[in-house]
A and B are shown apart, each in its own frame.
Chain A
Amino acid sequence: MRLRPSHAGITLRTRLLISLVMVCAVVLALLGMAGLISTQATDRAQAVLDAQIQPLVLLHGLKTRLHRIRESEVKLALTEDFFAAFSRHERLVAERKNFGEALAVLCNAPSATPAHVLERVEALWTQYDEALAALGQPVMEMRMEEVARIATYETANRFAALSSALDRVAEETRLAAKASFEDAALRQHRQWRILKLIAALGTLAFVLWVMWLWRALFGRLLALNTAATEMATEGRAELDVTGRDELSAVALAFNAMQARIQARESALRDAQSELETRVLLRTSELYDVNTRLLREADERQRAEQQLALLSKAVEQSPVGIVITDTGGVVRYVNPAMEVVSGGSQGVAVGRLAGVFDPAMNSPVRVSEMLRRLEAGADWDGELEVGRPDGSRYWAHVSLSPVVEHTGDTTHYLVLSEDISLRKAQEAQILHRAHHDALTDLPNRVLAMDRLNQALLHAERHAGRAALLFIDMDNFKVVNDRFGHEMGDALLVNAGQRIRGLLRAGDTVARHGGDEFLIILDDVGGADVAASVAEGVRQAFAAPFDVGGNEVFVTLSIGAALYPDDGVSASVLLRNADLAMYQAKEAGRNSWRFFESRLHEATQARVEIETCLRGALERGEFRLVYQPVGDTASGRIFGAEALIRWDSPVLGAVAPDRFIEIAERTGLVVPIGDWVLETACRQAAQWQREFDPGFHIAINVSPRQFRADDFVSRVAQVLAQQGVAPHTLMIEVTEGLLLHDHDEVLKAFEALIAVGARLAMDDFGTGYASLRYLKHFPFHTVKIDREFVRDIGNDPDDRVLVDTAIRMGKSLGLSVIAEGVETADQLAILRGFDCDLIQGYYFSKPLSAEGLHAVLAKALVAPQHLINPA
């Protein structure tokens, strides 16, 4: 028998060691790769988690801050206390700063969200922030209407746009994270395949090695066994020993110790011992593998804990969360949702969620929601939701599909936030923005909107609409007499009374002050508008009870019809306003339809006003002087300065056409100042040259008179021009005396203190003239030309003029009769002992040069313009 060497020169120990090293290397390589794959998978999962959860957490924080900012600005608009408003505004500023910083964190954080989306959010925030910054000034000035206007019209849209943009960021983040997750899963799958391949190759190598070992070891051991058996049973010849390995040595030993069985057994024990060592080695390797597996299990457990943390966050989220299956059936409700909805998880789970229930939500909206969700998109909106107890609330609802890595949608996620308070506050602001705070009637803004709607409706149906413009005739008297609070109460009662007369579809609005508007939709013709106007007018015949006082007020009403009197709201408003003024001019307590001539008159007034501006600077005014004569002697006593306007555009414009406009626009103040200075300068010249006692009279309008510096200005001009103060006569009309008696009286006393004299002009044209003469310290009264004109024919006028002269004299006043044109009139006035006269019979108004010539002539050759008595 012959034992063949398996490989010349290499011992079995060496072979076993080499094999062992190779096996260990393969096992270590496999373990290393498995560990690497596991670590990378964990890292990728963490990265995906970070890319999704962290931005979403930041976004949730931003949305919460954004809603807090909106809530703050809405509350700010409702604040009435200054310190509270300041405090709230400070808080708003801090919230804006916090939001800006949080947004910067989001934008700078590593994120899968596209940069242009974040840039859009930053731009929208900048716009919103700028609008919010504009709140500072009105808050410091407590102009809360302006704050409300900004909150309603300027920030609301910017807030909504920013909110939507944040939603879009959330959606982009979710989509990006989903893509990252899928990529990570794919890469992990590839790595597992490589690992499996390497494991298979390692296993194959191990099998080949076992086969080779089988052949190299056990074949030869079998030969030894055979030989030993043969030797034990029948004995045998010495083994033929070849080679130099351990078996050759065994063979040699076998041969050497053939007689000694113990030696053979010893050799067999050695072999057995070596096999046991190998078993121990394999056991150790298996232990290492087991340890690795335990570590992986530990990592898996940590991932599960992270999931549990997220689950707890959902459970404790202040936002209401519902999870449904794809059929809309509720599977989970968090406690916040139970609080918000008033329901309970026990009842809700297993039922169709209300948001998907066509019986509780709009079927169209439900379809749209499901369509978006099935397409993998989100749905976001505000819904009014009912509670089991019947109450309702507004919620901001976000719906998102829950998508598995396979792309299948398994559930729907419903987020619900109670925004009832914000909705209520926004509704309140909107109401305040569109309604008058005092009467709660629609204000001018809403009225114009309703009017436009009425016009649209009339246009579509070829119908008519009417606008009535109402003004209280004597509201100011009520206000002055009973105070503003009573005036306010009257406005409220008046608004209610008008409202009670109209159809539900008609609009009554407060246009401002004591003005109301009525918008009549779908009127058949002018007769309907006339009927309503008359009805409203008659309704005010009954008195109002204002603070226990019985108050009567009347109305002047102007009506304009669409399309007859205008096709736009602004034109109709203007024309109804004009018609109202016509009703006032017609004696008040009446109504009028718009007439186009009114409009023409208005246009003429506008033209005059346009030309009037700058006329003073362009030197278009001049003064003429109408002499005032002594009735008895015929001597020139003085003159009244009268203004003339030569407009290069309009030609000569009569004072009665432009003075009223100058008064209304305030231009009368500088014009009157020019008259004062020019007349005084001229009078000073005549006083120096002809008569130190020459009187000059100027007319002063109410607005000029009420200017703060009027008295000081008179004193200044008198001093500058060197005019003796007592030669200046200031003529005022009754219009000045109607209001603010105390103020006027103070001014009169101040003028008298300066030395000027006061005259009541146009005496007799107002009903209260006599009372005014007694009440105010006039020096002179001028009887209006209306009464003088018919003094020769009308006994009544004669009696009236006689009475006025007597009464004036009894009060110590000098009397001037205006408009004397005939010798008869002069004779009668002389008979009544009238002091002075003025009129064409004495002299027409003369230019400064003309009067200068007359005075010069009188100086060198004393003469009279009329014959002395």
Chain B
Amino acid sequence: MFNLWAAAPLFGEPRCSCENQRQAWRHVLQTIVRIKGLRWLIASGLVLAVAGVPAAEQADRAVAAVKQLVATGALPAGAALRLTVKQGNLASFLGENEQLKADWERATGTEIDARIMPQLASRAFIQDDDTVDLTIARSNETPDLVSEGLIMPLSPLIERFGFVLPDTPPDGFVHVRQQALFNGQVVAIPADGDAALLFLRRDMMEDPAQQASFLARFGRTLAPPRTWAEYQDLVAFFDRPAEGFYGALEPRDTLTGWMYWMPRFLAHAQVGQHLFDEAMRPTIDSPEGIAATESYLATLAHSPAGVLKQGNDYSFTLPLFLSGKGFSTIITVAAAKLANTRTSPVYGKVMAVPMPGRVVAGQTVPHPTLIYGNNLVIPARAKHKTLAFLFAMWLTDPDISARSVGVAGGFTDPYRYHHFDDPRIRAVYGEAFLDAAKAQLPYVAPAGTGLPGDAAYLEALSENLSVAAHGRQSAAAAMHNTARQWEAITEQRGRRAQVAHWQRYRAALPASASPRLAPVH
């Protein structure tokens, strides 16, 4: 058994000497031989591409490739790359005062035509708009996007231009497997490490009077929660609805509810238990799934009434938390940029801690998952696919990406290891917040089901969670109904094909849905 999420570098070792390269290559081969489920990677050609090319000059090579394309006439001089991203990430992609955009345009002689896309999932948008060369999609969306032919696989371009996706420190990508791969192909380039993180009111946690009161009531020290049960105690303890102060400010709307259910499922699941079993029968209506749902519903008693309203996602809960009206919230580390501004009412009063999980042999195992995430994808109908790829390669270069993530007005989260240690980025986020996010990196699980039809599966789950949250069905009924609907979706899409997908995906998952529970060799 091995730990997949913390495995040896499969995607290349940056800045290595020839000897180191040989060692890395040997190590890669050994690892692949040991990992039965990953042998398909050999076919993808990625490893070959990775082993031979250092990543230090990633940005320079991208620029040189664009110039060569222009010189050979393959790309018209002055071509415009149509980049479409969300408003909150625009500054990260274009840089402080659009400096990154200017640098790219000056270096390549091409232009960037940047536009804004809706703040929703990308599937419908990519379907409707054929004027996009490069855009972003959430991690869980890629199986649908690929299987419906909406985005192109990137492996051929990766091989052609010698791009590498290292997944180890010092400057590798933190979630390559969770964000970039589908069916043995690289289909997206990670550009935002959006993992769920728990934010608490530090001033209340450190208040001696609260600590004494908590100890008297619960018989244990007031401390960040290790499990969801402890979390529930905390939100109940600090809940003051009559004063307009709420224990839990987790979003519970229909579109994003599943994101806050998944970490609970992982925390309650048994070793080896995933959303489906080996034959792809849903396991979410098991006692563990129902317990996770009950945990999901339990916070509602300590949340504001509007939290169930359609569309009230983090845009409803996060402002309340940042206004000092709640004890806890769950969101990505991007929120730290807001809490870390001196004008914020909660400046200096907030702490971030790893997500609750479980305690195994005295050790705390957090269970975060990716939630939103902004991976770079190239629509199949893009006009300048190669240019789009080269821009993505340039933007995610170790140095360029550090500048991108460090932009104060952008909300792209650190997605390469060295981002967490970069002084510019640490100053913008606040050191303690980044350290908390870094601490849970080895445990971050992928978002969604990993299957074609993911949108339909998650929609059924979210809808049933919503009905339960409104008190119109029990947690058990919600899970039973979801399991039944999931079976119908599987039948509708073709059970055989879905099972094949699931087994491939499952092979790439660790033995447990909780990575650190598997013995590490």
**Alpha-carbon gap, A140 to B309, bound state (A):** 20
Q: Which residues of B contact A80 (CB under 8 A)?
A: 119, 311, 315
Does the CB pair A484–B309 fall under 8 Å?
A: yes
**Interchain CA distance A79-B90 in the complex, whole Å:** 14
A61-102 interface with B by 8 A CB criterion:
79-88, 90-91
**Cα distance, A142 to B320, chains bound together (Å):** 9
- Shortest Cβ distance from residue A425 to the other chain B in the assembled complex, whole angstroms: 14
Report Cα–Cα, A79/B88, bound state, in Å: 11
Task: In the complex, identify which listed stretch (B31-39, B137-145, B267-275, B406-414) lies at the interface while the others stay far away.
Answer: B406-414
Q: Does B323 interact with chain A (Cβ within 8 Å)? A: yes
Asked if B88 contacts A81 (CB within 8 A), the reply is yes
Of chain B, the residue at the smallest CB distance from A709 is B242
Output the least CB separation between B200 and chain A (Å): 19
CB distance from B467 to the nearest CB of A (A): 9
For B315, the chain A residues whose CB sits under 8 A away are 80-82, 85, 142
Assess whether B88 is in contact with A142, with CB atoms less than 8 Å apart: no
Contacts of B309 in A (CB 8 A): 484
B86 interface hit (Cβ, 8 Å): yes
A90-B408, A91-B409 as given contacts; A84 in contact with B119, CB under 8 Å: yes
A3 to B344: give the CA distance in the assembly, Å: 111
User: Would A86 and B308 count as touching, CB distance under 8 A?
Assistant: no
Q: Annotate A205-216 by CB proximity to B: 1 below 8 A, 0 otherwise.
A: 000000000000
Chain A positions 484-498 with a Cβ under 8 Å from a chain B Cβ: 484-485
B451 in contact (CB, < 8 A): no
- In the complex, what distance in Å separates the CA atom of A79 from the CA atom of B410? 16
* Pairwise interchain contact B316-A79, C-beta atoms closer than 8 A: no
Q: Which of A83, A84, A141 has the most CB of B within 10 A?
A: A83
- Kindly state the separation between the CA atoms of A90 and B343 in the bound complex, as whole angstroms: 13
List the A side residues contacting B408 at CB < 8 Å: 90
Query: What chain A residues lie within 8 Å of B411 (beta carbons)?
Result: 83, 86-87
Partner of B91, one of A85, A87, A707: A87
Residues of B contacting A389 in the complex (Cβ-Cβ under 8 angstroms): none
A80 CA / B319 CA spacing, docked (Å): 12
Expressed in whole angstroms, the Cα–Cα distance for A485 and B309 within the complex equals 8
**A81 to B, closest residue via Cβ:** B119
Instruction: Specify which chain A residues have a CB less than 8 angstroms from the CB of B470 in the assembled complex.
Output: 483
Contact across chains for B409 and A708 when beta carbons are under 8 A apart: no
Taking a contact as CB atoms under 8 Å apart, the answer to whether B90 and A485 are in contact is: no
Determine how close the nearest CB of chain A comes to the CB of B75; give it in whole angstroms.
26
Distance in angstroms between the alpha carbons of A88 and B411 in the assembled complex: 12
Neighbouring A residues of B334 by C-beta, 8 Å:
83
Given that A80-B315, A91-B409, A142-B315 are known contacts, is A86 also in contact with B88, CB under 8 Å in the complex?
Answer: yes
Encode B292-321 as 1/0 by CB contact (under 8 A) with A.
000000000000000011110011101110
Q: When the two chains form their complex, are residues B316 and A142 in contact, meaning their CB atoms are under 8 A apart? A: yes
Return chain A residues, CB-CB under 8 Å to B90.
Answer: 87
Interface footprint category on A: 20 to 34
User: Chain A nearest CB: distance from B244 CB in Å?
Assistant: 12
Tell me if A88 and B87 are in contact (CB < 8 A). Answer: yes
Residue in chain B with minimal CB distance to A141 = B319
| Given known A142-B315, A708-B241, contact A81–B308 (CB-CB < 8 A) | no
Asked if residues A87 and B88 are in contact (CB atoms below 8 Å), the reply is: yes
A79-B87, A84-B88, A87-B90 known; A140 and B323 CB under 8 Å? Answer: yes
B242-A82 in contact (CB<8A): no
Asked if A485 meets B319 with Cβ closer than 8 Å, knowing A83-B334, A87-B90, the reply is no
On whether the beta carbons of B88 and A484 are closer than 8 Å, the reply is no
The reply to whether the CB of B390 lies closer than 8 angstroms to some CB of chain A is no
Annotate A703-738 by CB proximity to B: 1 below 8 A, 0 otherwise: 000011100000000000000000000000000000
How many angstroms between the C-alpha atoms of A84 and B314 in the bound complex? 12
A142 partner residues in chain B, CB cutoff 8 A: 315-316, 319
Question: Within 8 Å CB of B87, what residues of A?
Answer: 79, 81, 83-84, 87-88
Would you list which residues of chain B between 340 and 381 have a CB under 8 Å from chain A? 344
Q: Does B496 contact A (CB under 8 A)?
A: no
B314 close to A82 (CB less than 8 A): yes
Q: Are A90 and B409 in contact (CB under 8 A)?
A: yes
For B314, the chain A residues whose CB sits under 8 A away are 82
Asked if B119 and A140 make an inter-chain contact with CB atoms under 8 angstroms apart, the answer reads no
Q: Which of A80, A86, A88 has the most CB of B within 10 A?
A: A86
Cβ contacts under 8 Å, A90 to chain B: 91, 408-409
B128-162 toward A: CB 8 Å interface, digit per residue (1/0)? 00000000000000000000000000000000000
Chain B 415-442: CB-based contact to A (< 8 A → 1; otherwise 0)? 0000000000000000000000000000
Q: Produce 1/0 per residue, A482-514, CB < 8 A to B.
A: 011100000000000000000000000000000
A484: chain B residues within 8 A (beta carbon): 308-309
Look across to chain A and name the residue whose beta carbon is closest to the beta carbon of B323.
A141
18 pairs, A vs B, C-beta closer than 8 Å = A80-B119, A81-B87, A81-B88, A81-B315, A82-B319, A83-B334, A84-B87, A86-B88, A86-B411, A87-B90, A88-B87, A140-B319, A140-B323, A140-B344, A142-B319, A484-B308, A485-B310, A708-B241
- 7 interchain residue pairs of minimum CB distance: A83-B88, A84-B87, A82-B315, A81-B119, A90-B409, A708-B242, A142-B319
Which A residues are within 8 Å of any B CB, using their own CB?
A: 79-88, 90-91, 140-142, 483-485, 707-709
6 additional contacts (CB under 8 A) given A80-B311, A84-B119, A141-B323? A82-B318, A87-B87, A90-B91, A91-B91, A142-B315, A485-B310
